[in-house]
Amino acid sequence: MLCLLLAAQIASPAHAIAEPGIVIESASARIEHDIYLVDARLHYELSDEARQALESGIPLTFAVEVELLRQRPYLWDAVVADSRHWLRLEYHALSRSYLVSNLTIKTRHSFPQLREALEALGTIRDMAVVERKLLDADTPYQARLSARLDIESLPAPLRPAAYFESAWRIKSPPYRWTLTP
C-alpha cells in the first residue's frame, strides 16, 4: 500500500507543470549572538531529466550561496563575506525514500516522498554568514542569495551533456535584499 501511495505521488503530473528551476520565495537575515544568520525559503522544481537521474540513483548536489555585498561607486560590488552550503538530494532504493543531506553542516534526513524532500531542501534555516563585528555599522550592506545545481558533482559521463542542456541548468536568479543591522 505504501508503495502504491509513493508511486501515485511520483507519477503525479503536478510536478511537470512548473518550469524547472529554483525560485527563492523569501529570504531574510537576523542577528543572533552577534552573528548574521540567514533564513530562506526556496522552491525547487526538478526537470524530468533530473528527476529521472535522481531515481536512477544519481545524487544531485545543490550549492546555496549567500554573499554580503558592499556597493561601491562606479565599480562592481565588493564581496565582504560569503557562505556556501552544499546540499545533496538522493534516492534510497531499498527504503524507497529520499535523503536530503547538508554536506556543510553534516545533517541528513530521509523523506518518503520527493515533495517533502524538496521542501526540506528549500528550507534554509540559521545559515551563518558573518560576524557582526566584522561589518561597518554605518555602511549599508546587501545580501545576495543564489542556489544552483552543481554540475561538476554529477558523474563524469553526464557532465558534458549537462553543461549544454537546459534541463540541467537548474539555478535561481540571485535574490537581493538590503541588510538592516
Residues that bind other proteins (CB under 8 A): 2, 52-53, 56-58, 92-95, 97, 99, 108-113, 116, 152, 155-161, 163
Minimum CB distance to other proteins smaller for 42 or for 50: 50
Minimum CB distance to other proteins smaller for 45 or for 150: 150
Q: Please tell me the distance from the alpha carbon of residue 96 to that of residue 116, in angstroms, as a whole number.
A: 13
Minimum CB distance to other proteins smaller for 71 or for 123: 123
Cα 114-116-120 angle, rounded to 5 deg: 115
CB of 125: closest distance to other proteins in angstroms? 12
Minimum CB distance to other proteins smaller for 23 or for 120: 120
Which three cell numbers, joined as nine digits, stand for 7? Answer: 508511486
CB of 14: closest distance to other proteins in angstroms? 16
Minimum CB distance to other proteins smaller for 144 or for 159: 159
CB of 165: closest distance to other proteins in angstroms? 11
CB of 65: closest distance to other proteins in angstroms? 20
CB of 15: closest distance to other proteins in angstroms? 16
